[in-house]
A and B are shown apart, each in its own frame.
Chain A
Amino acid sequence: MKPVFMKYTKADIVNFVVLLVIGFLVIPNVITTDYWYTSILIPWLCLTLAALGQNIVMGYTGQLSLGAAGFMCAGAYACYNMMLRIQDMPFLGALVLSGLIAAGLGIIFGLPSLRIRGIYLMVATLASQFFIVWVIDKFGWFKNYDVSGSTTFQKININGVAFTSGHMMYLLVAAIVVVITLLAINMARGSTGRNWMAVRDMDIAAESMGVSLLKTKLQAFAINAFLCGIAGALYTYTYLKTVEPFAAFNISLSFKIMFMAIIGGLGTISGAFIGAAFILLFPVVLNAIGNNVFHGMIDATIISAIEQVVFGGLIITLMIFEPLGFAKLWETLKQKVIRKKS
């Protein structure tokens, strides 16, 4: 496949245009209920961003890390404080800056990766999860001394346009996700991504080829934290709106993001999208099926318990039959169809 434009092949561009049309023309026109935007599409896109970061550090660079929620928390509160304390702070500027602040924290909490690896590194990175959330909760300054312990985030306003309806916020989040995904694809396919994967597959050989382990690992941690920071800010500003740090950014969110990366497919960009959709939407789908099909026949509490069992069972089955996740599954299906055609 020859590249047509820069290094993108024809198929890349077709996919990109189709997704843009669906995301920015079809969905805003077809879906009118606010519920879909505020409860499904927006959290999905936000968590996709975090899963993308997790995938870069875990899937591409091979550094197990578990602390995405900590960086999300840092990003959210950095954005909140900048909007609060700096006059006329543009929201997008604050968003990027809070990403950078999270990236700085990412470098600090990524330092253990230079010495330890694997499961031990994962435990060490848990520090970010506990430490950041604890600091923000402990020191009232971060929450602007709110006595209730929770924080209500400001309304988004860009150049006089208020982003308050689910519809508008969806468009904003989707635009940011598109830009960041493009940047991530460029990195993953370029020399940066190759360095990441070289460190993942054989670090000694990578070092002998001149790839600096220190730089590459910390770079991956920084990019991961940057994406998580932005994801966290968007997550709070567009989805949660009122936040209590310990409740919103707990360890189960970190785990969720890690599972999104794994189930979607480690070392793929599309995997972040599919994984986030699966983890987030499947319980909703199961719930709808449970309530509509078995309504009245079985007790509601039992239905919700069965949902959990089915969900867990599905994850186990997937991991047994396709350990490389949904992205790989999709790839094999596509190739089978192409082979059948020819």
Chain B
Amino acid sequence: MVIKKNVRKKIKKKIKTKIKKKIMTQGRKFKIGKPILEVKNISLSFGGVKAITNISFNVLEHEIRALIGPNGAGKSSLLNCINGIYKPQEGQILFKGEVLDKITPNFIAQKGISRTFQNLALFKRMSVLDNILVGRKLHSKANFLEVAFQLPRAIREENQNKEKCEEIIKFLEIENIKNTPVGKLPYGLQKKVELGRALATEANILLLDEPMAGMNVEEKRDMCRFILKVNDELGTTIVLIEHDMGVVMDISDRVVVLDYGKIIGDDVPDNVRSNKKVIDAYLGVAHD
């Protein structure tokens, strides 16, 4: 255990020194700006069970926003509300200052919000490359007849999309498996492919639902590197749910803490760490 702890510390240090420091010293290429996504008074219940109660928070442009909380706190439900899979009974979601009224997954995708899923929602029988190519859907305008007859626009788009996806595959360092059906890949790699698919959409906001769950330390380190790099180089705003506190505290700019569907903390990592309510929620405390 002692050795393991040391290794973890070292790796964490590495992340910090390598990327975080670079960002800290040189300053970010994309300065954190105005709120891009705002959630206002969202409530969601399934029958009598209240999953989310009156939650409001905002996400600033180009920042990394973490959502944490114990199991069942409503983190994934919240992402599903933003994504349009669940319809909240109350509340509003604002994107770039305008209220989104007709929220469906398709509509949200067109707005430029992409996501990954907690329990992996990859296209299992398709190859890695094909999975990532599906992410390019919104960048291909050719209809099925153009594809069937291989008209110039369809060919041109296909080539452009393939090129872009090869870039992403190279970035994620998964070139060697690009033709393997994703169903045959180990968990860690599948998570990477899912990130790749979300990246392929070139979205403004990425919603990552536990991108590092079930990964070993090394894979986690890689994933952190990718997330920070995407945020740093492309300026993509990132909302992520994660259970590994070390990771959350290291890479995120601000943290929202949920418990039983309510917000119990919303601050920069250092303040969240010392928040009494948060400590209670995680360690458990006797209720009066």
B158 and A7 within 8 A (CB): yes
- Interface flags for A306-317 (1: CB within 8 Å of B; 0: not) read 000000000000
Given A201-B124, A207-B109, A210-B201, does the pair A187, B137 have CB atoms closer than 8 Å?
no
- Interface flags for B166-205 (1: CB within 8 Å of A; 0: not) read 0000000000000000000000000000000100010000
Given A183-B148, A191-B158, A205-B117, does the pair A197, B137 have CB atoms closer than 8 Å?
no
Residues of B contacting A200 in the complex (Cβ-Cβ under 8 angstroms): 123, 125
Given A6-B155, A190-B158, does the pair A205, B123 have CB atoms closer than 8 Å?
yes
B126 and A197 within 8 A (CB): yes
Given A186-B147, A186-B150, A197-B125, does the pair A191, B109 have CB atoms closer than 8 Å?
no
Residues of A contacting B99 in the complex (Cβ-Cβ under 8 angstroms): none
| B137 partner, pick from A7, A191, A202, A267, beta carbons under 8 A | A191
CA gap between A206 and B114 in the complex, in Å: 11
CA gap between A195 and B142 in the complex, in Å: 12
**Residues in A252-281 with C-beta less than 8 Å from chain B:** 267
- Interface flags for B127-143 (1: CB within 8 Å of A; 0: not) read 00010011111101010
B165 to chain A, nearest CB (A): 11
CA gap between A197 and B161 in the complex, in Å: 18
B197 and A209 within 8 A (CB): yes
- Tell me if B258 counts as interface (CB < 8 A to partner A): no
Chain A, interface size category, equals 20 to 34
Taking Cβ atoms with an 8 Å cutoff, the residues of A that contact B are: 6-7, 183-184, 186-187, 190-192, 194-195, 197-198, 200-202, 204-213, 219, 223, 267
CA gap between A219 and B144 in the complex, in Å: 9
- Tell me if B104 counts as interface (CB < 8 A to partner A): yes
- Tell me if B7 counts as interface (CB < 8 A to partner A): no
Chain B, interface size category, equals 35 or more
B155 and A7 within 8 A (CB): yes
| B121 partner, pick from A184, A204, A212, beta carbons under 8 A | A204
Q: How many A-B residue pairs have CB under 8 A?
A: 102
Given A190-B147, A191-B147, A192-B148, does the pair A208, B108 have CB atoms closer than 8 Å?
yes
For the residues of A in contact with B, the DSSP-based class is: helix
- Tell me if B106 counts as interface (CB < 8 A to partner A): yes
| B105 partner, pick from A191, A195, A208, A267, beta carbons under 8 A | A208
B109 and A209 within 8 A (CB): yes
17 pairs of residues in contact across A and B, judged by CB atoms under 8 Å: A6-B155, A7-B158, A183-B149, A186-B147, A186-B148, A191-B133, A192-B148, A197-B130, A198-B126, A198-B134, A201-B125, A202-B122, A202-B123, A208-B85, A209-B138, A209-B201, A211-B106
- Interface flags for B150-169 (1: CB within 8 Å of A; 0: not) read 10001101100100000000
- Look across to chain B and name the residue whose beta carbon is closest to the beta carbon of A206: B134
B149 and A210 within 8 A (CB): no
B123 and A201 within 8 A (CB): yes
Residues of B contacting A206 in the complex (Cβ-Cβ under 8 angstroms): 123, 134
B51 to chain A, nearest CB (A): 18
| A208 partner, pick from B83, B124, B157, beta carbons under 8 A | B83
CA gap between A209 and B137 in the complex, in Å: 7
Given A186-B150, A194-B133, does the pair A207, B123 have CB atoms closer than 8 Å?
no
- Tell me if B110 counts as interface (CB < 8 A to partner A): yes
Residues of B contacting A207 in the complex (Cβ-Cβ under 8 angstroms): 104-106, 109
- Look across to chain A and name the residue whose beta carbon is closest to the beta carbon of B194: A205
B119 to chain A, nearest CB (A): 10
- Tell me if B115 counts as interface (CB < 8 A to partner A): yes
Residues of A contacting B154 in the complex (Cβ-Cβ under 8 angstroms): 190-191
A187 and B144 within 8 A (CB): yes
The 9 closest A-B pairs by CB, nearest first: A205-B121, A201-B123, A210-B109, A207-B105, A190-B147, A210-B138, A183-B148, A192-B144, A208-B105
Given A183-B148, A208-B114, A209-B114, does the pair A194, B105 have CB atoms closer than 8 Å?
no
CA gap between A197 and B42 in the complex, in Å: 34
CA gap between A190 and B144 in the complex, in Å: 9
CA gap between A204 and B147 in the complex, in Å: 24
A204 and B85 within 8 A (CB): yes
A209 and B134 within 8 A (CB): yes
CA gap between A212 and B138 in the complex, in Å: 10
A211 to chain B, nearest CB (A): 5
Given A207-B109, A209-B137, does the pair A201, B126 have CB atoms closer than 8 Å?
yes
CA gap between A211 and B108 in the complex, in Å: 11
B200 to chain A, nearest CB (A): 8
A208 and B125 within 8 A (CB): no
A211 and B148 within 8 A (CB): no
A194 and B108 within 8 A (CB): no
Residues of A contacting B133 in the complex (Cβ-Cβ under 8 angstroms): 191, 194
Residues of B contacting A211 in the complex (Cβ-Cβ under 8 angstroms): 106, 134, 137
